[in-house]
Structure 1
């Protein structure tokens, strides 16, 4: 078992020495440090190297969980991925986060359930809001460039055996836009 440390500071001006010293004092044999990297970024140079270095049975140690990610959903996913690889997680300043102990695993499981509940609640609220907007006649998204006149031109050209790329060039739109507009027009007025 190897204890591997990970430290991160958000700007180049910040100094990660405190994190690195704490990780080394807590037993980290190797410390990877990202400087000037946001926790919102999933891929960071030293983080990627740290993930590559970790092996089954190792312990990833961080000063605080926010060094890994600022997103609850991403953090839960990350901890699950580490667990699947057989890598435990320990936080120096958050002693409850220690998946090497039964209590730490239990607390993590509870946190994971609440984080997933939060994600599911946000998703459901979004879907409910979109359904309500649709029931009021509002449709989100970008307005279509395919006006009824353009659709009529596309239908006429298609009847004259023009290809989708030819129609798209003539109308100054993408080929997929032409296909979607013609499919929608067919759905509204099916051929006899």
Structure 2
């Protein structure tokens, strides 16, 4: 039988628990069997599409010397999340004589000229949509800032709401107290104490 690789990915552990990867495998298997392919799966769990550290994805690309005819995914967003990344990977596949098929994206089959064209168009729309979301998020943040709404971590305060005396923290540190002991003495969590100590060390 002709060898094909199947790639499945879930972005979060919740997706894994809800059976996302198993559903992807079922869809890929159904397609592979209809084409007479012998399928081998590569599976990443709780890995975002934006995450460049996808061990199974990388292992799959390193295995192209075994000459699979095609890589099959259930949907294009399981494979790549940016057009540039997608086209770069597809070019690499083409150089290795491997096609690409997305089962649930009609016409996405790089073994045909029409399929490759449609894939580029869909990828462009997907990237445009993400850019619009980022733009709206940025615009909303700027509007909130203009109204005095603050973002980020809260100021360094004790449990009763008073500001932490940085000089006192460093004084206690100089006396040999641990960060945990200082936090207990100051009535705050250990996180701001560690931050003060780290900043003092960096500026020393």
For the superposition of Structure 1 and Structure 2, which TM-score range results when normalised by the shorter chain?
Answer: 0.5 to 0.7
More displaced, 115-124 or 52-61? 52-61
Runs of 5+ in structure 2 lacking a partner? Answer: 9-17, 184-188
- Give ranges in structure 1 of 5+ residues lacking alignment: 183-192
1:173 aligns with 2:184: no
Q: Partners in 2 of 1:166 and 1:112 — Cα distance?
A: 56
Range moving further from structure 2, 40-49 or 91-100: 40-49
TM-score norm. by structure 2 comes to: 0.57
Q: Which residue of 2 aligns with 1:28?
A: 37
Supply the distance in 2 between the matched residues of 1:109 and 1:15 (Cα, whole angstroms). Answer: 22
Displacement of 1:18 in angstroms is 6.9
CA contact (8 A) 1:72 1:115 kept: no
1:63-88 per-position Cα deviation (integer Å, ceiling 9, x unaligned):
x427x72x9737x5774463143243
1:6-29: CA deviation from partner (whole Å, max 9, x where unpaired): 276927997966752431231323
* Cα deviation digits, residues 73-113 of structure 1 (max 9, x gap): 37x57744631432431235544101222222211111111
| Other-structure match for 1:59 | 70
Q: Post-superposition shift, 1:123?
A: 0.8
Partner residue, 1:88: 99
What RMSD in Å do the two structures reach over aligned CA positions?
4.5
Distance 1:99 1:114 in 2: 18
**Are the aligned partners of 1:7 and 1:33 in contact in 2 as well (CA < 8 Å)?**
yes
Work out whether residues 3 and 60 of structure 1, in 8 Å CA contact, stay in contact via their aligned partners in 2: no
Q: 1:115 to 1:7 in 2, by over 3 A?
A: closer
SS in 2 for 1:30: strand
Confirm whether residue 155 of structure 1 aligns to residue 155 of structure 2.
Answer: no
Within 1, Cα distance between the matches of 2:138 and 2:198?
24
Q: How many residues align?
A: 171
How far apart in 2 are the matches of 1:130 and 1:19?
Answer: 41
Q: TM (normalized to structure 1)? A: 0.60
Look up the SS of the partner of 2:109 in the other structure: coil
In the TM superposition, what whole-angstrom CA distance separates every residue of 1:21-57 from its partner, at most 9, and x where no partner exists? 43123132334387xx97x655999877655543477
